Amino acid sequence: MKEADVRRLLAANLLCVFTVALTAVVPAFFWPGFTVLGTHLTWLCVCSVCVSALNIILHLALKTNLTPKRSSFAHKISRFLKCCIYFFMSCILFHAIIVLYGAPLIESVAETFLFAVLLSTFTTLQCLCMLGPNIQAWIRVFSKNGATSIWENSLQITTMCSILGAWFGAFPIPLDWDRPWQVWPISCSLGATFGYVAGLIIAPLWIHWNRKQLTYKSR
């Protein structure tokens, strides 16, 4: 493992953290009354779009996609369309899972779906950028000792942290505190965001500390 690769990963992850922070501050200069809590749905859209765009640019620039590449234009179009379909299916799947875990079925549909989009952005989009629409590769990466690069290790950590953050974020909702951030789905989406940010910071540090034990085999 090259130390330069770990530094590249750290720089890319810190840029993502910086982007998430900016989505909470910059829109207020152009959108009067914008706040993460007060205009939460708007923030969900802004955060999802910005993080998505940055992740796509970073993966293209750093060439983290290790899957075989073909130069055929038709193949690229087909791959892009598959990625779009997979992302949309991920949003629907997350929406269904969130409802099964207790979210309102009919009320707050927009809020639940945008939360599902945010979760898909933090998890599925990274898988699509790095592994493409290849379910077998996804299963391999998230199996024990399945990662073949530091980027895949980072993908494991950020994905798990995002989902755990969303899960922990649901705990305060039923409490009778009557706080503005307890309104659905604010605490869950903030929990997912903090989990994602924590994962971005933890991943390169964990990889650096365990670099001597990490060995990657080509698959």
Q: Residue 111: which residues within 8 A CB-CB, separation 6 or more?
A: 40, 41, 184, 185
pLDDT confidence of residue 126? 94
Q: What is the pTM of this model?
A: 0.92
Query: Residue 164: is its pLDDT beyond 90?
Result: yes
Q: What's the pLDDT tens digit per position in 107-161?
A: 889 999 999 999 999 999 999 999 999 999 999 999 877 788 899 999 999 999 9
What whole-number distance in Å separates Cα of residue 19 and Cα of residue 15?
Answer: 6
Q: Residue 87: which residues within 8 A CB-CB, separation 6 or more?
A: 120, 124, 125, 128
DSSP structure class, residue 99:
H
**Which of 171, 205, 197 lies closest to 101, judged by CA?**
171
**Which of 67, 62, 213, 68 lies closest to 145, judged by CA?**
213
pLDDT confidence of residue 69? 55
> Is-contact 91 116, C-beta < 8 A?
yes
**Which of 117, 116, 121, 118 lies closest to 52, judged by CA?**
121
**Which of 48, 64, 13 lies closest to 202, judged by CA?**
13
